[in-house]
Structure 1
Amino acid sequence: MPGQDRETALRFLAEPADVNFGGKVHGGAVMKWIDLAAYACAAGWSGRYCITAYAGGIRFVRPIHVGSIVEVMARVIYTGRTSMHIGIEVRAGDPTTTDRERTTHCIVIMVAVDRSGMPVPVPEWVPESEKDKELRESAIRLMEMRKKIGAEMEAHLEL
């Protein structure tokens, strides 16, 4: 039921096919897992097909080793009229233990769309805990920063 479950967790096994030239998991593989988790979270919250509108602030904190269990946690931290800001945390570790370390984190903005690809309203998420209120306020501040960055990036685009 839309508007009920704001968190999703996906798990992956880092395979040899995910390795980069340095012998660690390729950043592109991690970004794919992030996008999958963001989609699952947003679709679950909205009850709609969703598209990725933005992925940013990606921080690769530590490498992921082939053979690791990778957990991608996705959580709605802000909703607009048709968009959902999804906070992502990636953790990884040896599959024979329960220890996981943060490897990556970011924000992904997903937009719910109808069958013709037009944005549609999503259920509002209202924070209840102090931590959730902080996450919502952070998402709002990040929106303002993205507007400024977008304006600055215009200078780098060729028309």
Structure 2
Amino acid sequence: MLYWRVTRPDFGDAQIDVLADHFSPVLSSPEHIPDEWTLLKARLYLEPQLLTTLTWEDVNRLHRDTCPNVLELIDLILTIPASTADCERGFNIMKVVKSDWRSSLKADTLSDLLLMQLSSPPISEFDPSAAVELWHTDCIRGRRPNFKDCSKQVADTDSDMSDSEADDVVIT
């Protein structure tokens, strides 16, 4: 298959023309794409043994200055999802979040709730201690003025006592 591509210099030209025509409203210079496609193919096939190890990031980094428009088209095509599973998952979660009881949520609130639902770790892996501590301490006026963090309280009492006082403490 690789030999056929190397010996046929016109492979992919018709498909690139169709894609460039279709996406021309969002591309910066679609008229340069066919020439850049030919140039990109020629540069990539100068060393065919490297084709098995090159990643898309390598191609982008190496040829961004000489073939920017065709790489822009390929980046655009790579952003198209292969399936609609992610979209369907998002709509299912939105149905759970925006129930009949919460039908009047504003767009920002709904967006924030969906982001938390889609991006958060499972509840079994979540450790809320950092969030609780931030909630207690990061405000203008204390939420619970009598709240004392037990872990800090033990450390504070140990450091405040002198050695002679520590000897006098009787634990029952």
Q: TM-score, normalised by structure 2?
A: 0.20
Structure whose CA Rg is larger: 2
More helix by share: 2
Query: Which structure features the higher share of strand residues?
Result: 1
- Higher RCO by CA contacts (8 Å cutoff, separation 6 or greater): 1
- TM-score, normalised by the number of residues in structure 1: 0.21
